[in-house]
Amino acid sequence: MRALVINCSPVRTGATAEIVRIISEQLSDRYDVRSVCIDDYRFGFCTGCRACHTTAECVQRDGVENLMDEFGKAGVIVAVSPSYWADVPGQFKAFIDRCTPWCDTHDPHRTLPPGKRGYAVALRTGPGLRECEKICGTLEHFFGHLHIKSSGRLCLTSVEYRDDVGPREREILDFCRSV
């Protein structure tokens, strides 16, 4: 089974990327792991034209289709997101907006193969959990509209830099055992 681990941040070398690396390594003994970064894909913003509400297709042809192909191939999806103003980064939010053709908010809509499990990981620089929980809520809400079963979450506070991840590795490893 394939596991998709996605860095929801455009930063390829920071704390989020380090967490993606650890999770990917830990899952590789049980899954065929594919790690991607939202910045690997080029796509435009949703234009609000609503054509997808009647066609189940976006009028734009770009990287969203490629990333959704990765979602389709994976049985497990782990989304790792830092906090950008108390929610997912704008790049990932733009991706979510563009996934309307696959979401069950209207008919017709495209569908992913059934039986997928989704896991949300959130990190933030401050000490409060509420912001991490909000980010996990955003990711789980997105999963729900794609019929991906939310199956676990990990909230990491006080993580700003790559070096802040090491002291939290035990929590990440424990989380990986549940995936």
Domains and CATH numbers, the chain: 2-177 (3.40.50.360)
Provide the pLDDT confidence category of residue 87 given band limits of 50, 70 and 90: very high
Question: For residue 169, what pLDDT is reported?
Answer: 97
Whole-number percent of the chain with pLDDT over 90: 100
Mean pLDDT of the chain: 97
Mean pLDDT of the region 119-147 = 97
Query: Which amino acid makes up residue 143?
Result: F
Residue with tokens 């994976």: 74
Provide the pLDDT confidence category of residue 42 given band limits of 50, 70 and 90: very high
Question: For residue 177, what pLDDT is reported?
Answer: 98
Provide the pLDDT confidence category of residue 51 given band limits of 50, 70 and 90: very high
pTM: 0.97
Tens digits of residue pLDDT in 101-119? 999 999 999 999 999 999 9
Mean pLDDT of the region 67-84 = 98
Q: Whole-angstrom Cα distance, residue 111 to residue 108?
A: 10
Provide the pLDDT confidence category of residue 149 given band limits of 50, 70 and 90: very high
- Of 175, 52, 73, 59, give the one whose Cα is nearest residue 123: 175
Provide the pLDDT confidence category of residue 146 given band limits of 50, 70 and 90: very high
Question: For residue 128, what pLDDT is reported?
Answer: 92
Longest Cα–Cα distance of the chain, Å, equals 49
CA quadruple 83, 84, 90, 91: dihedral positive or negative?
Answer: negative
Q: Are the C-beta atoms of residues 156 and 19 closer than 8 Å to each other?
A: yes
Distances (CA, A) of 95 to 27, 53, 54, 71, 155: 25, 17, 20, 12, 22
- Of 112, 41, 107, give the one whose Cα is nearest residue 77: 112
Which residues, in sequence order, are bridge partners of residue 76?
3, 117
